[in-house]
Amino acid sequence: MNNLLSESIQQITGQLKNWRRDFHHFAESGWFEFRTATIVAEELHRLGYSLKMGQEVIKADARMGLPSAQALQDQEQRAIKQGALTAWLPHFSGGFTGIVATLDTGKPGPTLAFRVDMDALDQNEEQTPAHRPYADGFSSCNAHMMHACGHDGHTAIGLGLANVLKKHESQLIGKIKLIFQPAEEGTRGAKSMVEAGVVDDVDCFIAIHIGLGVPQGELACGSDNFLATSKIDVTYCGVASHAGGKPEEGKNALLAAAQAALGLYAIPHHSKGSSRINVGVLQAGIGRNVIPDHALMKVETRGETNEINEFVYNQALNIIAGAAKMQGVEYKLELMGAAQSSQPSPRWVDFIYQQARQYVPELSSVVRSRKQPAGSEDATYFMERVKENGGQATYLIFGSELSAGHHNERFDFDENVMTTAVKTLATIAFHLSDFEG
Ligand SMILES: [Zn+2]
Ligand SMILES: [Zn+2]
């Protein structure tokens, strides 16, 4: 089996690179993955997977940080011009850019799900010859959209895995589900898929990421230090007035936001673990001699556990409300994204660890976990739901050399990592009957 698998993976290596470079060139940020989603759907359909798409796998009102209806429409038009396959587009229209592909082997066995994300970031890509994607002609052609986190690679890995699993279907048991998620950046998309029930029947779950500070050639089988997080947009609305003539008639939204920002950084630490607070954006005011009637603040809270994040979040709500009261202004709060903390299932991590060590010689090192710099990841919603239902879940990180850090305009990764990832994930699927769930 191992030789056959290696052969299939060798055959798909060029295609992995082609997909990755195509998705990279036509980078699409969260909820705008129209072109990407149609290409993914077409390939999975061609392979014979049964597909659920759009509103079947995304609960509309559980989407967070959704762009305006106008922006969604404009981006859909842009995607059409860039070669989106229009037959599939109606499924994804309006920001429902998710796909779940199922392969039912017809044999008894667990349901195994793999989740990859598809979105780019809202940033411009470096366009100089020193940056390989530019030098090789596949840097992003879309302004303010760039694959600077490797999700282009994740999407390609998902398609590569779909190919290999289908080819060796007779070796598999149970059901395989491939989940292609939109809008991971800003932790906005996963919850809507979880609430649509896409992992309610899943026994074993794997999410993946490449890079993240893990050394080239290494696999971390159970990443466990994602922070729980909440992203909120706060808008203060006051009353504008002449700053010299009638200051007493104004209600100062800028001051409310400024006081809130200072108050937020004074939230106490929690004895049970680490927390974070950040006010990343504060925009306010209209003119030098006008009492500012409008302010926007973009805030995020994080915590080592859900409990700690909730503590910080609730404190933040008090401070935001208190600052409004101090200035007599109104305020509006919008939750733009959220993720949980989640611990991988130890026996599942152990199984993957053994499999990877035994069958994937391309990996120079396999570890159970590695403490990488803490961020957040909304795959934790899938993990927690699967575990609540008695299943097993984990998060794999495939190490890669990076040309610059994640979310940097010069980000790029070693494309060989995609082949190693497909081989590892396929190996786990092929040996699933050895896992004592
Ligand atoms: Zn990222
Ligand atoms: Zn990422």
For position 243, which CATH number holds? 3.30.70.360
Q: 342 falls in which pLDDT band (50, 70, 90)? A: very high
CA distance 284 to 292: 7
User: Domain check: are 275 and 352 in the same one?
Assistant: no
Average pLDDT over residues 328-356: 96
Q: How far is the CA of 319 from the centre of ligand 2 (A)?
A: 31
Q: How far is the CA of 211 from the centre of ligand 2 (A)?
A: 9
CA distance 213 to 406: 9
Average pLDDT over residues 58-84: 98
pLDDT above 70 covers a percentage of the chain that reads: 99
| Res 111: pLDDT | 98
Closest-lying ligand to the alpha carbon of 185?
A: 1
Residue 234 has phi, psi (to 5 degrees) of -115, 125
Q: How far is the CA of 64 from the centre of ligand 1 (A)?
A: 16
CA distance 229 to 341: 8
User: Domain check: are 319 and 363 in the same one?
Assistant: no
Give the torsion through C-alpha atoms of 390, 395, 396, 400, to 10 deg: 180
For the cut 90, the answer to whether the pLDDT of residue 154 exceeds it is yes
Closest-lying ligand to the alpha carbon of 150?
A: 2
User: Domain check: are 320 and 418 in the same one?
Assistant: no
User: Domain check: are 289 and 385 in the same one?
Assistant: no
Q: How far is the CA of 374 from the centre of ligand 1 (A)?
A: 12
User: Which token pair is 169?
Assistant: 């279907």
Mean pLDDT of the chain: 96
Q: How far is the CA of 119 from the centre of ligand 1 (A)?
A: 9
Q: How far is the CA of 24 from the centre of ligand 1 (A)?
A: 14
Terminal Cα distance for the chain, rounded: 23
For the cut 90, the answer to whether the pLDDT of residue 336 exceeds it is yes
Closest-lying ligand to the alpha carbon of 122?
A: 1
Q: How far is the CA of 402 from the centre of ligand 1 (A)?
A: 13
| Res 373: pLDDT | 66
| Res 371: pLDDT | 76
For the cut 90, the answer to whether the pLDDT of residue 164 exceeds it is yes
pLDDT digits (tens, 9 = 90+) for 5-44: 889 999 999 999 999 999 999 999 999 999 999 999 999 9
User: Which token pair is 3?
Assistant: 């030789």
For the cut 80, the answer to whether the pLDDT of residue 241 exceeds it is yes
Average pLDDT over residues 255-272: 98
User: Domain check: are 385 and 277 in the same one?
Assistant: no
Q: 436 falls in which pLDDT band (50, 70, 90)? A: confident
Average pLDDT over residues 397-418: 97
For the cut 90, the answer to whether the pLDDT of residue 362 exceeds it is yes
Q: Which domain holds residue 311?
A: 228-339
**The domain boundary residue, chosen from 299, 314, 339:** 339
Q: How far is the CA of 426 from the centre of ligand 2 (A)?
A: 21
User: Which token pair is 75?
Assistant: 């981006």
Q: How far is the CA of 403 from the centre of ligand 1 (A)?
A: 15
Closest-lying ligand to the alpha carbon of 405?
A: 1
149 is in an annotated binding site: yes
> How many structural domains is the chain composed of?
2
Closest-lying ligand to the alpha carbon of 207?
A: 2
Residue 409 belongs to domain with CATH number: 3.40.630.10
User: Domain check: are 207 and 268 in the same one?
Assistant: no
Closest-lying ligand to the alpha carbon of 151?
A: 2
User: Domain check: are 174 and 102 in the same one?
Assistant: yes
Q: 224 falls in which pLDDT band (50, 70, 90)? A: confident
151 is in an annotated binding site: yes
185 is in an annotated binding site: yes
User: Domain check: are 360 and 257 in the same one?
Assistant: no
User: Domain check: are 386 and 258 in the same one?
Assistant: no
User: Domain check: are 211 and 237 in the same one?
Assistant: no
| Res 372: pLDDT | 67
Q: How far is the CA of 415 from the centre of ligand 2 (A)?
A: 16
Q: How far is the CA of 150 from the centre of ligand 2 (A)?
A: 6
Average pLDDT over residues 58-65: 97
User: Domain check: are 285 and 314 in the same one?
Assistant: yes
For the cut 90, the answer to whether the pLDDT of residue 403 exceeds it is yes
User: Domain check: are 394 and 413 in the same one?
Assistant: yes
Average pLDDT over residues 233-248: 97
**The domain boundary residue, chosen from 339, 369, 386:** 339
pLDDT digits (tens, 9 = 90+) for 1-12: 678 888 999 999
- Report the Cα 163 to chain-centroid distance in Å: 23
**The domain boundary residue, chosen from 313, 339, 365:** 339
